[in-house]
Structure 1
Amino acid sequence: MKTLLLSLKDVEQALSMEEVISAVEQGYISYNEGKVQQPDIVSMEMPENNGETDIKSCYNKLNESISVKIASGFYDNGKNNELPTMIGTILLFDGRNGAPLCIMDGSLITGIRTGAAGAISSKLLARKDSKVVAVFGAGGQARMQIYALCQVMNIQEIRVYSEYTEELPKYKEYVERNTKVKVIICDTPEQAMKDADIAISTTPSKKYLVDKSLVKPGTHIVAVGADMAGKNEWDPEIFKGAKIVNDSIAQCISRGETRNAIISGIIKESDIYAEIGELLLGNKPLRESDDEITIFDTTGMGIQDNVTAAQVYEIAKKKGLGKYFEFI
């Protein structure tokens, strides 16, 4: 039995945003069709090292594969060493016999599948004439969200705010080079939210950045950063009366931005409109007026990793990428 080993460079050669968006859409649909087993996320925090680790696993009946991802965020990396902030590894197993098919770098997969999720939500829920995007955070995921969004919508201006101001010039250069969209660096959340049609948050903040007063009618919010209990980027009051869509309701009420609104007493679980897979299946209407505020709360799902990793594995085999070794 041979197992394929794929480096970050190998994975990069086997990925395209357009294909990942399609795969993640199918993954969400499979989840809502009951074809996915997805255990609870296992989380660990290492506060003395400003780090955290999540373990996400999944069995997908559609492609008969099992995936396990170990993803870490160590937020001092790059400052006191040469390591990236986000580090991940994905193990892919044959769901018919348990054999290890592939071990691959998961850092880029985590970034691209999360970017794809945000883009899918905007395609479904943002106003079709949306042009201006507010972005909170200027790291890798803030870049990936915009790169993905520009695959599905005609964006004309990015307004970015980050508490880590040293990130901003590189963010502006990267996004403008890769998307040809104008980027405006903002000094405050108020400046970033000015005229924003879509607002995306990608920070590890534990105290909300955006007050309800800054969110205009018709805004679509993509809440990415709050992926474990204690994180908070948005004023919970924003959820009152909004159309709330989760990737997984079970996850978002226990560890997402939706959790913050529930424990604040702003909403109840019954106020959640839908999971995104339900919208892709056409089971519920999408945006119903230009004035409603829509929120997509994503905590990241094992099925996203599964479908993306399976896609990478198949493409890598066709392209002859990576190296095989005898694991068993």
Structure 2
Amino acid sequence: MAHDVRVVTEAELRGVLTLDRALTDVIEKAFATLAGEGVVMPPVLSMALEAAHGEVDVKTAYLPGFDGFAIKVSPGFFDNPKIGLPSLNGLMILFSAKTGLVQSLFLDNGYLTDLRTAAAGGVAARHLAPAQVDTAAVLGTGVQARLQMEAAHQERPFRRLLVWGRDPAKAARYAEDMGARLGIPVEPVAEIGAAVAQSQLVVTTTPSRSPLITRDMLHPGLHITAMGSDQEGKTEIAPEVLAAVDLYIADRRAQCEVMGELAPAIAAGAIPGRSVELGDVIAGAAQGRGADSDVTLCDLTGTGAQDTAIASHVAGLLDQTAVGSVIRA
């Protein structure tokens, strides 16, 4: 029997959903659910296409209490800008958790992934950053460097932001853009160590394959959210950092052991002394930051639970609207 499927484009989604604290609440709930029973979240299907300087990740999860589950396909082809195309694109498909029928097709070109990834950073800041953040720093100048600091600023309204980028021109442009967006001073810095030394909250957003933050940069009261390492081989944090912090927090430990900052740390024998999952902290099953002087590191690799949560949230927002096109499948 034929059924209706709603098809929604990126432009239409941008008119419905933006990055705010309500979205951070949605992603926070997904992490809390992930800490409970009945979750089905298979390992990420990750494929590197080295000949095309590309990669493709496929993520999904079933979360108890949600009417649907999403399957997200996320390609990144990093030579695309040379031919006038974006590096990232992709889509999400929302299925009924009761019948398996396709309910919605979100042709978002990675927009929903961008938002849920930034909201996860907001969740990390909400639960793990020191209560008072005067200065924050971001490594990277791309889309996530912008969205992550917007989400973090909503949770910890810091008064100054420092930005480091490999390209000084891009860092200068970032400083101008984000200064206007956040209404605070944003300053480019030439040295990562200098940025970290002045900050209570640092977010790393690069695709680096060699460490950017080292053990000697750590200081009391520092929280780091590392979200660039989302595929095997990527790393922004030196292994010895994980052994030195007071608390290591994974979005999903089994996943971080494969594609997060935890993977090279384990290979180097730099095992965190105390480690928990973010969902357990949110659910109250594990303690997060014990004191403002603690040094904490949150390793965000991106989970299928976040994709199911944001896809379900968007579907709910669309229910009483005529946004998108409905096709008979």
Fold match, TM over 0.5?
A: yes
1:264 equivalent to 2:263? Answer: no
Number of residue equivalences: 324
1:193 equivalent to 2:218? Answer: no
Give, as a single letter, the amino acid of the residue that structure 1 aligns with 2:30: G
Deviation at 1:19, TM superposition (A): 2.1
Identity %: 27
Normalised to the residue count of structure 2, the TM-score between the two structures is 0.94
1:135 equivalent to 2:138? Answer: yes
Structure 2: which 5+ runs fail to align? none
Find the residue that maps to 2:56 and give its secondary structure.
strand
Counterpart residue number, 1:251? 255
1:208 equivalent to 2:206? Answer: no
Give, as a single letter, the amino acid of the residue that structure 1 aligns with 2:127: L
Find the residue that maps to 1:37 and give its secondary structure.
coil
Q: 2:158 aligns with which of 151, 155, 158?
A: 155
Find the residue that maps to 2:90 and give its secondary structure.
strand
Off by >6 Å, runs of 4+ in structure 1 = none
1:144 equivalent to 2:157? Answer: no
1:74-93 equivalence runs, <5 A: 74-78=77-81, 80-93=82-95
Deviation at 1:310, TM superposition (A): 0.8
* Alpha-carbon distance in structure 2 between the residues aligned to 1:112 and 1:61: 22
Deviation digits for residues 18-70 of structure 1 (CA, Å, limit 9, x no counterpart): 22111111111111112321111001111222211100011122112121000
Deviation at 1:92, TM superposition (A): 0.4
RMSD: 1.5
| 8 Å contact from structure 1 (residues 35, 62) kept in 2 | no
Normalised to the residue count of structure 1, the TM-score between the two structures is 0.95
| 8 Å contact from structure 1 (residues 121, 296) kept in 2 | yes
Q: 1:297 aligns with which of 276, 296, 299?
A: 299
Counterpart residue number, 1:287? 289
Deviation digits for residues 225-268 of structure 1 (CA, Å, limit 9, x no counterpart): 01122111111111124200111011011110011211110116
* Alpha-carbon distance in structure 1 between the residues aligned to 2:66 and 2:147: 26
1:62-141 equivalence runs, <5 A: 62-78=65-81, 80-106=82-108, 107-141=110-144
Deviation at 1:272, TM superposition (A): 4.6
* Alpha-carbon distance in structure 2 between the residues aligned to 1:75 and 1:158: 27
* Alpha-carbon distance in structure 1 between the residues aligned to 2:62 and 2:53: 31
Counterpart residue number, 1:13? 15
